[in-house]
Structure 1
Amino acid sequence: MSGIQLVSTHFPGAAKIVLVQDNLSTYTTASLYAAFPSAEARRFVECFEWHYTPKHGSWLDLAETELGVLSTRCLNRRVSDKKSLIKEIAAWEQNRNKHQTKADGQFTTADARIKLKRL
């Protein structure tokens, strides 16, 4: 979904729309002025409040990792209906929380040398 859809379609009356982006694909106000006429770009700029995640150890990366785990361990098959899906996800979440599963966002150069030794 583009930011323009956020402003024009999904939240046309919003005073501010907070965009959280990682630093891999950073967009700035300049990109809006390059793509749209000045008046329209200005309208978008006034609607957006940009927040960027840290370049290293982004919480967004951790969230994506959790979604990946959810997909492979819980959603790796067809679920017949919405009620069953909600139940499955709740059970998975309860198990993750019960065991206090933590994401380890640490990956050092030494770890990389060990893991990538064969390359």
Structure 2
Amino acid sequence: MPAKIYKVKLSPEEREALTNLVNKGKGQARRLRRARILLMADEKQDNGGWKDADIASALKAGVRTVERTRQKCVEEGIEAALNHTRPKKSRSKALDGAAE
């Protein structure tokens, strides 16, 4: 398995905010799952963070979901990782006003 490119290192404040979010248990399921992923992936833990496959099996998520969440956190920050949405595909309309 190749070395991790995106290493999540949370500050104590970030870790506390994510822990509070998870403990509250209110909110979108995706957002809570991503918060759990980030907490488990944090390399500042005593064990150095979980492996992606272990996180995926523990949370019943895909390994790719864990990888994307980790990447989004490192590149754009925690809020972007928690609220990550897929980009919408732009498609032209089949009919326009003149064709109707």
TM-score, with structure 2 as normaliser: 0.24
Bigger Rg, structure 1 or 2: 1
**Relative contact order higher in (CA < 8 Å, ≥ 6 apart):** 2
| TM-score between the two structures when normalised by the length of structure 1 | 0.21
Greater per-residue strand proportion: 1
